[in-house]
Amino acid sequence: MFYVSKRLEISFAHRLELDYESKCGRLHGHNAIVTVFCCSEKLDRNGMVTDFSKIKETVSGRLDHLYINETAGFNPTAENLAHWLCGLIPNCYKVIFQESEGNTAAYVKDGYENAAL
The annotated binding site for Zn(2+) is made up of 14, 28, 30
Active-site annotation holder among 24, 79, 83, 92: 24
Active-site annotation holder among 9, 17, 65, 79: 65
Q: How many residues does the chain have?
A: 117
- Binding-site residue ranges: 14, 28, 30
Buried residues in 32-59 as b, exposed as e (16+ CB within 10 A):
bbbbbbbbbeeeeeeeebbeeeebbebb
Residue 77 CA to residue 92 CA, distance in Å, equals: 19
3 state SS of 88: helix
Amino acid at 54: K
User: Residue 99 catalytic?
Assistant: yes
User: Residue 38 catalytic?
Assistant: no
User: Residue 9 catalytic?
Assistant: no
Q: What are the catalytic residues?
A: 24, 65, 99
